Structure formats: structure tokens, C-alpha cells
Amino acid sequence: MLKGGEFIVKESKPEAIFIPEEWSEEQLMIRDMVKDFCNKEIIQPMKKAGKELEASKDKEEIVALLDKSAELGFCGMSIAPEYGGMDLDFNTGLLFGEAIASGFSFATTIGAQTSIGSLPIVYYGTEEQKQKYLPKIATAEYKASYALTEPSAGSDANSGKTKAIPTEDGKHYILNGQKMWITNGGFAHVFIVFAKIEDDRKLSAFIVEKDFGGITLGEEEKKLGIKGSSTVQVFFNDCKVPAENLLAKRGEGFKIALNILNSGRIKLSAGAIGGCKFALSQGIEYAIERKQFKKSISEFGAIKFKIGEMATKIFATESAVYRTGKYIDVKEAALLADGATKNKAKIDSLREYAVECAILKVYGSEVLDYCVDETLQIYGGMGYSAETGIEMGYRDARITRIYEGTNEINRMLSFGELMKRAMQTKEIDIVTPGKKIPKAYMGQMFSSSYSVGQEDLIVANMKRLFLAIAGIAGQKLKLKMIDEQEIVMNLSDILAEAYISESVLLRVQKLRSSDHDKGKIAVMEQMLQLHLYQGIERIKVAANHAIDSLPEGTKQGLQRKMVKRFARRYEVNPKDLRRSIADYFVLEKGYSL
């Protein structure tokens, strides 16, 4: 099994990865149960009422939805059975995240309950803390929230000013400070609060109950989207927190926050898949029904372009997300077999794939934004009207590029974490593969294009191009690299494209030798070709931007030749591919893979 980030220097085998076609009946039943809940309890009532949920007006209804979801076991997905939960494996949890996305802003509400609001206790809590809080969170008797961000501490979370001062008898901490953008804050019973004890340099984490007193809530924020999700400021004024409610050790809060965010990032990407599939299916349904010039608009090339693009992007995203989710599960099992505690195994397996989680957060959220935008465009004027509900999905999606760390932060994180493992901890050897690049370049000097059947080579060359440009940039810029954020983000985009493209290729390769439906495999082959055709172009742009942004005299001439050689034209017809892909999904009346 590949270590986190190691995909860039090692070849993966199709048989070693998980693909969505391998979901068990039980896993698919969970998915379908969640989607049925969303349809019955959220989508249909909203259609009947002709309006979306708003936390400022419909708080009781939102709380009731959370209670109903708990009755079905949804709030205990990540909590062990001994505390009243189901303790699903990580990949099944991602599938749950995909399914609950059809609940619109309620996905954010339950996401806070099952992820950031409870996982700090699941992963870091003492036995006493788990016994006290997790059973009530699993049943939604306690609504959970997560309080990290402050007015002056967003991406730089460790600069927060909230203070916790121990009492003289050492039995309590007195908490003072302000938190903002707190999901579920308007009705939460429990807050995971990050604060600095006295003059500590690093954050600590606390389990804080609303009933401790000294807590004041701001008004519900007026937001662009996810209006049905409660978002408030929370003020702590001499809030008295029992000493036993400190999570983990003093000064370990920032570490807790980072590890929980690794989980949240890939879960966000899984949710994005659900949103994309919902949007595409709505767009296809409307395109079939809408008639112009005496025929369905689904027959027009311009609409087929949109449908073919959306389907391909969705296919690519889910290929990478569930590949990574399985890696996390396998790593956890290996750590348990080596004697790690369950908590440590969960934490370390997520930390192992921090590079991939950051990549997927960026990729998934940007694909979601693309899909909701193009779905609205298919609807035309009706999409802009609140009557159809399409504009609500458009507004709801926009937050995904901001929370769980902005996409800019995550781009820099994926590259920075990879370089840390390569240059500091020496977990990944990028030097040896880098030395082989000139030979590969010389061996392809007279190749002017790629042909169908050379998909393995395309992906391999994406990796080579990343290593070549990252190597030259590192040699020239050294420690100044951290200040060249534009170049880092260019390199991150190449890194991401290599991982996503390889994931699509491996999925198709694995299905080729299976007894899966041949018609579906055929359209997957087409989506692989279309994705690689465009992936080459995306890498070419990012690579040239990075090279042109380096100081003169940085072997730029050689690097440009490598771009020309390793990102050369792929001999497929993108128009025909899109049309064929679109025809398949129009016939299916939605995304059916």
C-alpha cells in the first residue's frame, strides 16, 4: 500500500485500489436510506412549502430534523457501539457524506454533529469524557459544535486570543473570548472550544457545555447560502469549565484541529460528489423536458458539452475520493495490527493521507462549483429564478471553497506537506525518480503526440513534470519558496492533476478485467480519455506559469522543452467524446454509475 503522498514517485496497481463498483449491498443500503431520508424529510417538504429552510426562522424544524436523523442512527456514524453509535469504516462514512449532500444545508448541520463537533472526543477524549458525551451526541440529545475561528484568527488559527485561566484550586478554567462562524452554534449543547491556557504559545482544546454559563450567542448570520445551517458568534465571559474537560494534553489543541480538518477535507469532497450528482441529474431532467426549435435541448451540442463535462468531472472526483478513503481504512487496520490503540490508529491513518485530503478538498469543491453553475446555465432564466431551487444549490455550493481551510491554503498545504515528507522527514524519496527524468525525456524526444493506449505514459509524464519543475524551483528559491505562493499553487495543481488522473486510469483498468457491464465500461473509457485530454492542458498551463514565474537563469529553456514533450497532444476528439458521454447519461436520465 502506498504511503501518503507517495503516489507521485511510485506506480500503483489497479488491483490494489478500491473503486465505487465494489460497494457492498449493506453500504449501498445505507446510502439509499440516507437519500430517502433527505427526499422525504427535506426535499419534498421544501418543494411543498416553496421555500428553503432558514436558521433564523426555522430553528425548531432544523433541530427536529437532526433528532429524526439520530433516530435512524445517522448521528452516531463515527461513534463506537459501546457509546451508542455505529462506528462505520471511514470509506462508508464518505459514502454517507455523499448521500446526505442531497439534504442541502442540512448536510452542514449534520456534518458538524458527526464530524468536527464529535470527532475530537472520539479521537482524543478520555474514557470518562466519551462515556459522558458520546451517547448523548449519538442520539442528538446533545447537539454538537466546533469553535475554532475568531475575528482575527482564521487560516492562522493558532493566533487566536481566547484565553483559559486555571482557578487557584486547579479545578476549573475560566474561559474568555470570542468565536465566529460557529456551525450549529445557535442550538448547540456542547462546544469543542480552542483556547490558549495562560500565556501558552499553542492552543488547547476543551469540551464546553452551554449549561456551564457565561456563554452568549450572537444573532444568526445572514449568509449567501447554506441558510438552513445555524451560524453564530459565540462569546465566552468568565465561563467556568471543569479541569477534567480539557481534551488531550495542554497545548495539543492545534494538533487536534489539524487532524480533525484532515477528516473534514475529504468528507467535504465526498459531499461535493453528492451535490454534483444531484445537480447533473436535475440538469439532465430539465434538458430532456425543455423544448426549443421543436426539439429537446438535450440534443444540442452546447448542452451535450455541459453534460459530458460534468459527468467526467464527477467520475474523476469519486474515483480519487474513494480510492483515498480505502487507503485510510487499510492504514488504520495495519496500525491496529501493529498494536496501536484504536484512537491513535484513526488519527495516524488520517494524518498519513493529509496530502491527498488537501488535494481532494480543492478538487471536489471546484468541481461542485462548476456543476451547479452549468446546471443553472442549462435551466437558463428559470435557473436564476428561486422557483426551481437551482439557484439555492448554486449559493449553497460556494462555501465549500472556503470552509475546512480555503482552497488557497489547501493548495499550499498539499505541496508543503509533500515537500516536508521528502526533504525533512525523508519518508518519500523524490531524488531517485528525479534522476531518471532526463532518460525518460531523451527516450521521448521524437514523440509528437500521445495515442489511445498510452494512458499509463500520460500519467507517468504528469508525475515527471511535477518532479522536474518542483526540483528546479526548490534549487533556485530554497527557503524563499514559502513566499512564492503563486508558484506553489501552480505546482499543487500539477500534483493534484497527477493524482486525480491516475485514480481515473486505475479505476478503468480494474474494470477492464471484470465482468462489469460493458456499456458502462465503454463510457468510462471515454471519460478517461476526455479527462486526460483536458488534464494535459491544465498541467501545461500550470507548468508554464510556474516556469515563467521563476527568476531568469533557472534552466527555463530545458523546463519548457519538458513541458512540450511531457504535456504533448493526446490524439482524441474531445467533441465526440463529450457528445457520446452526454448521450449515455441523457438515456439514463441522470448520473447512474
Instruction: Please list the active-site residues.
Output: 404
Which CA distances in Å does 162 have to 158, 252, 473?
A: 10, 15, 39
Phi/psi-derived region of residue 579, left when phi > 0, alpha when psi is between -120 and 50, beta in every other case: alpha
Which CA distances in Å does 521 have to 137, 200, 235, 279, 536?
A: 42, 57, 55, 23, 22
**How many other C-beta atoms are found inside a 10 Å radius of the C-beta of residue 164?**
28
Which CA distances in Å does 105 have to 27, 384, 548, 576?
A: 23, 19, 42, 37
Q: Which three cell numbers stand for residue 26?
A: 449493506
3-state secondary structure of 223: coil
Beta-strand ranges (E) seen in 277-386 are 291-292, 295-296
**How far apart are the two ends of the chain, measured CA to CA in Å?**
26
CB 168 within 8 A of CB 200: no
CB 396 within 8 A of CB 225: yes
- Which residue from 441, 448, 465 is spatially nearest to 569, judged by alpha carbons? 448
CA–CA distance, 449 with 457 (Å, rounded to integer): 11
- Which residue from 74, 411, 110 is spatially nearest to 265, judged by alpha carbons? 411
